[in-house]
Amino acid sequence: MPRPSSSGAVRGPGTSVHADDDVEASIARAVTALSAGDVVAFPTETVYGLGADARNASAVARIFRMKGRPLDHPVIVHLATPAALTRWARPTADALRLVGAFWPGPLTLILPRADGVLDAVTGGQSTVGLRCPDHPVALRLLQACAAVGIDGVAAPSANRFGHVSPTTAAHVRGEFGAALLILEGGAAMVGIESTIVDLSGSAPRILRPGMIGAAAIEAVLARPLSTGTDPAPRVSGSLAAHYAPLRPLELVSAATLKSRLAESRHGVGGVAVLAYSPTASVAAGTHWLAMPAEPDAYARVLYARLREADQLDVARILVEVPPDDIGWLALHDRLRRAAAGSGGTHGADARERD
């Protein structure tokens, strides 16, 4: 996976530093904050995370307060090395295979939790979500944390509950303001949240699709994933309304898009369009945000484009439905949720937003 060229630095009150020489000092500042039970934001290859010492219940509670997220939602624990897994969970043979193939990387494993893992992290469940991220700044932070005894950093995506996940430090600042310590790590290279695989049941299954697809996972496990319908553990990302912009978002086919744009010439309010098909002409009042026609590149820019569209003076956002192809599965998932939760029409159940 390509790595960001930015080496990373801390941004917080009164600071804005980028030079390589400052990176270690920046990481040290973040470790000091985490040791004191504070919250810091850091980059990962998927989206930015809002992190706290996963062994400190009041620090973890602080993340939930900042996000406005219900306290019984589980959070992913981020590890410095694959070997740290055994401190947090009872690994299965499947887990070791997947760790060997995909860590560090955008894959979260749900496993039976080890003794001593906080309920604040697991949401009171008997399982824990674990991930070793593939980002140089995240890994450096996690290693520096491990060196002072913080052997896992609990981190959900660094957005307020129900908002689009952040893929740049600026997005995080937009969510939480300048007072939060944010490690700078450039734009996230994957761009959507990790694939979550549940290994705690009788057969492995995907709880949240991501850019590591089912076929790659099945190839490593040498067996098919379960498509069964046992009651799912609580994964708010698996419910309908999620990752949502504030303006109404509609998913439309290329043909519908064309006719809607013809209509909108006579309608009121502008429209933002996220489309991967080329267009010949764009009418006044239409903001055309061209999307890549390849899924990895599309994922990398999707959340930034949704935020951009949300900030335009438009009545709605029209998104051209991606191709009906397995490589686009996780993107269909995120776009469906974005449509379901957009325009302030989130479901009444607060659990549906992360």
Instruction: By CB under 6 A, name the binding residues for ligand TXA.
Output: 44, 46-47, 49, 73-76, 108, 110, 122, 125, 127-129, 131, 133, 155-157, 193-194, 196, 233-237, 354
Q: How far is the CB of 303 from ligand TXA (least distance, A)?
A: 12
Between 122 and 342, name the residue whose CB sits nearer to ligand TXA: 122
> Closest by alpha carbon to 153, among 75, 263, 244, 261?
75
Q: How far is the CB of 158 from ligand TXA (least distance, A)?
A: 7
Q: What's the CA gap between 321 and 333, in Å, rounded?
A: 11
The partner in contact with residue 213, picked from ligand TXA, Mg ion, none with C-beta cut-offs of 5 to 8 angstroms by kind, is none
Q: What angle do CA 245, 246, 248 make, to 5 degrees?
A: 85
The partner in contact with residue 122, picked from ligand TXA, Mg ion, none with C-beta cut-offs of 5 to 8 angstroms by kind, is ligand TXA
Q: What's the CA gap between 76 and 91, in Å, rounded?
A: 16
Q: How far is the CB of 280 from ligand TXA (least distance, A)?
A: 38
The partner in contact with residue 209, picked from ligand TXA, Mg ion, none with C-beta cut-offs of 5 to 8 angstroms by kind, is none
Sheet bearing 249-252, strands edge to edge: 249-252, 314-320, 270-275, 286-290
Q: What is the binding site for Mg ion (CB under 5 A)?
A: 157, 354
Q: How far is the CB of 295 from ligand TXA (least distance, A)?
A: 16
Q: What angle do CA 162, 59, 106 make, to 5 degrees?
A: 55
**Calculated CA dihedral for residues 15, 19, 22, 27, nearest 10 degrees:** 80
Provide the 10 A C-beta neighbour count for residue 62.
Answer: 16
The helix (H) or strand (E) run that includes residue 120 is helix 119-122
Distances (CA, A) of 283 to 11, 292, 312: 40, 21, 16
Between 230 and 313, name the residue whose CB sits nearer to ligand TXA: 230
The partner in contact with residue 8, picked from Mg ion, ligand TXA, none with C-beta cut-offs of 5 to 8 angstroms by kind, is none
Q: How far is the CB of 345 from ligand TXA (least distance, A)?
A: 20
The partner in contact with residue 233, picked from ligand TXA, Mg ion, none with C-beta cut-offs of 5 to 8 angstroms by kind, is ligand TXA
The partner in contact with residue 46, picked from ligand TXA, Mg ion, none with C-beta cut-offs of 5 to 8 angstroms by kind, is ligand TXA
Between 153 and 272, name the residue whose CB sits nearer to ligand TXA: 153
